[in-house]
Structure 1
Amino acid sequence: MLNMPPVVKNLILANVVVFLITIVLKQTGTDLYPILGLHFPLSEKFRLHQFFTYMFMHSSSGIGHIFFNMFALYMFGRVLEGVWGSKRFLTFYLVTGIGAAVLHMVVAYFEYRSLIGKLSPDQIAYVKEVGYQIWSEGKNFSDPLSGKLNAILNTPTVGASGAVFGILLGFGMLFPNTQLMLLFPPIPIKAKYFVIGYGALELFFGVSGIQGSVAHFAHLGGMLFGYFMIKYWNKNSNRFY
């Protein structure tokens, strides 16, 4: 399969299979997102296994989400697996993916606490009582604060992006001066500058609230956990891979 190392190959295969199963089951009325997507820990839909399973779920509204994640996993992941070996690469992938989810949930918790202080107990109880049903119908509360609380409680986070951003960070640290060719604009850029720039954009989008449907802090979480993992490996070994 395009000379891919085993972990990258199996991760891509697993993501594609889960994506196809999700689409097929959705046609029969079975929705996997409430089960496998990551929910806010104070949501009734939250289960601990979602910190792992969310990485294999992607938006079923099109192929763009899964395509770009898998493309990046193929382009950069196969290089890192070739350097680190399969076991260490898989460890890195899973830790950065779970770490991304942890940071995303921490940020969501602070948003949740802020909203709780602005809503009455009756409003909060009403959101918790009927919010999921409204959300599952593609609707939300007209009140912006209630709507935001409902989104935090009932929007599942899905995608391998957190782990993929960890891989991008890892590639930039191992091969900082490698030239990458951007698509837009089509200019060459060193990997270290690409990673720094991408991280800065994610921080800006996360803080500003632009592209609110994208889990920007999850992306940053993947990069953050990846950075500390590589630093730890580097400190505790003559060769960190």
Structure 2
Amino acid sequence: MSQSSVPPVSRDNFCYRHPDRQSFVLCQRCGRTICGECQTPGAVGVICPECMKQQRQSAPRRTGFFSRSGDRPVVTYTLIAVTAFVFLLQLIPGLNVIDYLLYAGVYSTPVAFEPWRMLTSVFVHSQSFIFHIALNMYSLWLFGQALEPMLGRARFLALYLISGFAGSLGVLFLTDGSTAVVGASGAIFGLMGAFLVIQRKLGGNMNGLLVLVGINLVIGFIPGINVAWQAHVGGLVGGALVGLIYYETRHLKHKSRQTLLIGGLCAVLVVLSLIRYVAF
């Protein structure tokens, strides 16, 4: 019987993570032997678990398909804090904060046209109904945690403010101009509208969100409930338009187009508000 020409098996031919498993496959990065369970396909060859972990840690982190802004919804927390601070100021007798910040299409003040109120009204709430601010801030916290990491801080803030303005525009067009409104409901509905559009485009399940939006819209039409449904409708439409722009221009190569479209939308909203005001 002749001697076998097959070389003896050494310990180097066993997986470094499973010493009882023989293998002749090496990690392309560190050169260690790895079995089939420990192999992750790479660009060339396979990679062991430790090298794959290091590769993932060193790779640039992308939190959403829009930006790399980080996981913490800082803008969301800031908006909640500012709104809560303004609400505390409302409770101080003599400051009349709500009178300076509420919105209506036509005023009886010496300066009849005060367009900044279309935004400032988002930060004041009814003092007689504590659940007004509580529900709005809970909704902001809920949708902010979902949208801000996805969109990025600047885009999320723009979405919130544009939606709030669009909500005031809804009040301007759908009332006689004398109805005074306060609250972040228009901006909140804008977040819902944007999330609805983005989820739809991404192929996500929207059944729960559609029910939520529907319930909130219906509540605004119930007699006896002092809710500005006009702001809800305006904010929902405005937020949906912003969400559509964000999705269609989500790639970095479309950044300039996105800025142009958002700027154009803002300009259209302002022009519409001027046209409606002149019509009164």
2:131 matched to 1:51?
A: no
Q: Deviations over 1:174-197 (max 9, x none)?
A: 335458xxxxxxxxx5223433x2
**AA of the residue aligned to 1:99:** A
Report what 1:21 is aligned to: 89
Taking only aligned residues, the RMSD between alpha carbons, in angstroms, comes to 2.7
Percent identical residues = 30
Deviation for aligned residue 1:223: 0.5
Match of 2:156 among 67, 89, 101: 89
Moved more, 7-16 or 40-49: 40-49
2:228 matched to 1:215?
A: yes
1:163–1:221: structure 2 CA closer, same or farther, 3 Å change rule?
A: same
2:127 matched to 1:40?
A: no
Instruction: Provide the C-alpha distance between the structure 2 equivalents of 1:35 and 1:46, rounded to a whole number of angstroms.
Output: 13
Match of 2:95 among 23, 26, 30: 30
Report what 2:199 is aligned to: 175
2:211 matched to 1:201?
A: no
Instruction: Provide the C-alpha distance between the structure 2 equivalents of 1:236 and 1:82, rounded to a whole number of angstroms.
Output: 17
Deviation for aligned residue 1:48: 2.0
Report what 2:208 is aligned to: 190
Instruction: Provide the C-alpha distance between the structure 1 equivalents of 2:247 and 2:155, rounded to a whole number of angstroms.
Output: 13
SS for the counterpart of 1:40 is coil
Deviation for aligned residue 1:46: 5.4
Describe how 1:57-206 pairs up with structure 2 within 5 A. 57-108=124-175, 112=176, 153=178, 155-175=179-199, 177-178=204-205, 190-195=208-213, 197-198=214-215, 201=218, 205=221
Gaps of 5+ in 1: 113-151, 180-188
1:32–1:156: structure 2 CA closer, same or farther, 3 Å change rule?
A: farther
What's the TM-score once normalised by structure 1's chain length? 0.65
Q: Deviations over 1:81-113 (max 9, x none)?
A: 0100100000000000001101111111xxx3x
What's the TM-score once normalised by structure 2's chain length? 0.57
Moved more, 80-89 or 61-70: 61-70
Query: Would the aligned equivalents of 1:175 and 1:191 in 2 still touch at CA under 8 Å?
Result: no
**AA of the residue aligned to 1:79:** A
Instruction: Provide the C-alpha distance between the structure 1 equivalents of 2:237 and 2:229, rounded to a whole number of angstroms.
Output: 12
Query: Would the aligned equivalents of 2:103 and 2:180 in 1 still touch at CA under 8 Å?
Result: yes
Deviation for aligned residue 1:161: 0.6
Q: Deviations over 1:127-146 (max 9, x none)?
A: xxxxxxxxxxxxxxxxxxxx
Structure with the larger helix share: 1
